[in-house]
Structure 1
Amino acid sequence: MRHYETDSASAAGRLLALCMVVDGNLAPAELRALQRSRLLEFIDIDIDTFHDLLSDLCHDMLSTSVKHEHVVLDIATIDALLGEIHAPELRRELLRAMWIIADADGVLADAEARLLARACAVWSAESRFVKQEAQELAQD
């Protein structure tokens, strides 16, 4: 996997792209959810740049599949991608958007669940705030 600067739009955009393709299927509902989340505006990238990041991610994933015979992202790789995001507010916004994207097609695939669980574990402090906000919204 290529490396992006810490807290960069590219690092954040790649995590959104990963959330969309980690289950092996890019659903149109996930793209609509991304647009509704307005996270691309938050990280200041346009849709064309996001598509480039998505393409680069798929290329990187396919290039590693030659070694593994199928596309596999191990925990170390996922942790490295998550580790490129340090800013607490960016982590919270990404985690919120990743949940929205993963849930957009009505199916939480095992690979999506693993990615989200790992993000919650690696970004534990920020995941607590996202959970609290979701509970507060549910009570309103």
Structure 2
Amino acid sequence: MRHYQCNSPEAAGRILAACLLTDGHLSLTELEALDRCGMEKRLLLNRHRLLSIVQTLYEDLTRSGYLSWSDVCHVDPTTLAWLAADVQDWRLRRDILELCSEAVMADCGHCDREAEFLRLLRDAWQLPARPVRQDALTGTSVS
């Protein structure tokens, strides 16, 4: 797998790319959500560069022998920890997690693989799960 400089836009983008591929497809809805959430300003990465990183990641993952599309989309915990190690800046980590979460929610679908990806990424960075807050109007828990 290619190496990117620590805390670089490419290192951040590769984690985001892995998240985008986790459910087996990359949708325009996800890309539009990332644009709305300020991906370019937060990661110094525009959509064109992100798509190039997605392609590069795909190429790197498929070099490891014959894999089905489902296997390629699933980044194992060891590989994800290795990718996560390329981002040390806590603000950049926060931005990546927020953008990954927005992308997961963008297509109004949620799969177990996406939830697992976000959990593994938080674990790799030793971050707590998103805190549960109380809704001010109803007193019910909102995550």
Task: Calculate the TM-score normalised by the size of structure 1.
Answer: 0.83
User: Structure 2: which 5+ runs fail to align?
Assistant: 138-143
Q: Which amino acid aligns with 1:108?
A: H
Whether the 8 Å CA contact 2:39–2:46 is kept in 1: the answer is no
Which residue does the alignment assign to 1:33? Answer: 33
Matched, 1:135 2:137: no
Which residue does the alignment assign to 2:82? Answer: 80
Question: What is the CA deviation profile of residues 106-131 of structure 1, one whole-angstrom value per residue up to 9, with x for unaligned ones?
Answer: 11222211110001112234x46xx3
Which residue does the alignment assign to 2:50? Answer: 50
Which residue does the alignment assign to 2:116? Answer: 114
Question: Which structure has more helix as a fraction of its residues?
Answer: 1
Which residue does the alignment assign to 2:140? Answer: none
Whether the 8 Å CA contact 1:11–1:84 is kept in 2: the answer is yes
Which residue does the alignment assign to 1:61? Answer: 61
- Bigger radius of gyration, 1 or 2? 2
- Percent identical pairs in the alignment equals 28
Question: What is the CA deviation profile of residues 67-118 of structure 1, one whole-angstrom value per residue up to 9, with x for unaligned ones?
Answer: x554242211011011111101111111111111111111122221111000
Task: Report the alpha carbon displacement of residue 135 of structure 1 after superposing the two structures with TM.
Answer: 3.4
Whether the 8 Å CA contact 2:18–2:75 is kept in 1: the answer is no
After TM superposition, what 4+ stretches of structure 1 lie above 3 angstroms from structure 2? none
CA distance, structure 2, for counterparts of residue 65 and residue 102 of structure 1: 28
Q: How many residue pairs end up in the alignment?
A: 134
Which residue does the alignment assign to 1:3? Answer: 3
Task: Calculate the TM-score normalised by the size of structure 2.
Answer: 0.82
